[in-house]
Structure 1
Amino acid sequence: MADQSTPKAPAPGAGLAASAEGAPGVPSPKRAPHRETPPEGALSRRRLLGTAGATGLTLGAVGGAAGYAAAPSADKATPLSSVGADQVRFHVKHQPGITTALQARGHLVAFDLAAGAGRKEAAALLRRWSETARRLMAGEASAQDDTDVARDAGPSSLTVTFGFGYSFFARTGLEKQRPDALDPLPDFSSDHLDKARSDGDLWVQIGANDALVAFHALRAIQKDAGSAARVRWQMNGFNRSPGATAQPMTARNLMGQIDGTRNPKPADKDFDQRIFVPASGSGGPEWMGNGSYAVVRRIRMLLDDWEKLALKDQEDVIGRKKSTGAPLTGGSETTEPDLEKTGSDGRLVIPVNAHARITRPDQNGGAAMLRRPFSFHDGIDADGVPDAGLLFVCWQADPLRGFVPVQRKLDRGDALSKFIRHESSGLFAVPGGAAEGEYVGQRLLEG
Structure 2
Amino acid sequence: MNGKSRSNSNDGSITTGGNGESGGHGGLSRRQLLGGVGATGAAGLVLGAAGGATGYAATRPDAPTALTAVGSTQVMFHGKHQPGITTPLQACGHLLAFDLAPGAGRKEAAALMRRWSGVARRLMAGEPADGGAADGTAHDTGISLDAGPSSLTITFGFGRTFFDRTGLVDRRPPGLDPLPPFSNDRIDPKRSEGDLWVQIGADDALVAFHALRAVQKEAAGSTRLRWQMNGFNRTPGATARPMTARNLMGQIDGTGNPKPADDDFDQRVFVPATGTDARHDWLAGGSYAVVRRIRMLLDDWEKLSVERQERVIGRRKTDGSPLSGGSETTPMNLDKAGPDGRLLIPDNAHSRISSPQKNSGAAMLRRPFSYHDGIAADGTPDAGLLFICWQADPLRGFVPVQRKLDRGDALSPFIRHEASGLFAVPGGAADGEYVGQRLLDS
TM-score clears 0.5: yes
Distance 1:86 1:339 in 2: 40
- Report the AA paired with residue 78 of structure 2: H
Aligned position for 2:40: none
Aligned position for 1:141: 128
Aligned position for 1:152: 146
Of residues 317, 331, 338 in structure 2, which corresponds to 1:343? 338
Aligned position for 1:39: none
Aligned position for 1:4: none
- Structure 2: runs of 5 or more not aligned: 31-46, 131-137
Aligned position for 2:177: 183
CA shift in 2, pair 1:26/1:242, >3 Å: closer
Distance 1:398 1:66 in 2: 39
Distance 2:396 2:74 in 1: 33
- Report the AA paired with residue 297 of structure 2: L
CA shift in 2, pair 1:83/1:19, >3 Å: farther
Aligned position for 1:38: none
- TM-score between both structures, scaled by the size of structure 1: 0.87
Of residues 390, 395, 398 in structure 2, which corresponds to 1:403? 398
CA contact (8 A) 2:16 2:74 kept: no
CA shift in 2, pair 1:53/1:317, >3 Å: closer
Distance 2:414 2:347 in 1: 17
Shift in Å, 1:381: 3.5
- Report the AA paired with residue 369 of structure 2: F
Aligned position for 2:328: 333
Shift in Å, 1:282: 2.5
Of residues 352, 358, 378 in structure 2, which corresponds to 1:363? 358
Shift in Å, 1:384: 3.8
Aligned position for 1:207: 201
Distance 2:349 2:25 in 1: 50
Of residues 150, 157, 162 in structure 2, which corresponds to 1:168? 162
- Report the AA paired with residue 342 of structure 2: R
Distance 2:233 2:423 in 1: 23
- Secondary structure of the corresponding residue to residue 235 of structure 1: strand
Q: Structure 2 matches for 1:233-312, cutoff 5 A?
A: 233-283=227-277, 285-312=280-307
CA shift in 2, pair 1:316/1:27, >3 Å: closer
Of residues 102, 120, 124 in structure 2, which corresponds to 1:115? 102
Q: Structure 2 matches for 1:351-390, cutoff 5 A?
A: 351-381=346-376, 384-390=379-385
Aligned position for 1:391: 386
CA contact (8 A) 1:97 1:161 kept: yes
Q: Is 1:69 aligned with 2:57?
A: yes
Aligned position for 2:310: 315
CA shift in 2, pair 1:168/1:63, >3 Å: closer
- Secondary structure of the corresponding residue to residue 415 of structure 1: coil
CA contact (8 A) 1:26 1:64 kept: no
- Report the AA paired with residue 252 of structure 2: I
Q: Structure 2 matches for 1:91-106, cutoff 5 A?
A: 91-106=78-93
Q: Is 1:60 aligned with 2:48?
A: yes
Q: Structure 2 matches for 1:415-430, cutoff 5 A?
A: 415-430=410-425
Shift in Å, 1:336: 1.0
CA shift in 2, pair 1:382/1:56, >3 Å: closer
CA shift in 2, pair 1:87/1:16, >3 Å: farther
Q: Give the aligned length.
A: 411
Distance 2:406 2:117 in 1: 38
CA contact (8 A) 2:16 2:49 kept: no
Distance 1:109 1:276 in 2: 22
Shift in Å, 1:55: 7.0
Distance 1:17 1:335 in 2: 34
- Secondary structure of the corresponding residue to residue 342 of structure 2: coil
Distance 2:143 2:413 in 1: 41
CA contact (8 A) 2:96 2:197 kept: yes
CA shift in 2, pair 1:343/1:26, >3 Å: closer
Post-superposition Cα deviations, 1:65-123, rounded to whole Å, max 9, x if no partner, equal: 1141245555xx53211110000010011000000000000000000000000000000
Q: Is 1:84 aligned with 2:78?
A: no
CA shift in 2, pair 1:85/1:274, >3 Å: same
- Report the AA paired with residue 112 of structure 1: D
Distance 1:102 1:431 in 2: 20
Aligned position for 1:221: 215
CA shift in 2, pair 1:242/1:195, >3 Å: same
- Secondary structure of the corresponding residue to residue 340 of structure 1: coil
- TM-score between both structures, scaled by the size of structure 2: 0.88
- Report the AA paired with residue 74 of structure 2: Q
Shift in Å, 1:146: 1.5
CA contact (8 A) 2:16 2:48 kept: no
CA contact (8 A) 1:16 1:86 kept: no
- Report the AA paired with residue 324 of structure 1: D
Of residues 423, 442, 445 in structure 1, which corresponds to 2:440? 445
Shift in Å, 1:200: 0.1
Post-superposition Cα deviations, 1:39-71, rounded to whole Å, max 9, x if no partner, equal: xxxxxxx9x99x965776795266561141245
Shift in Å, 1:22: 5.3
Distance 2:26 2:268 in 1: 41
Root-mean-square deviation (CA, aligned residues, Å) is 2.5
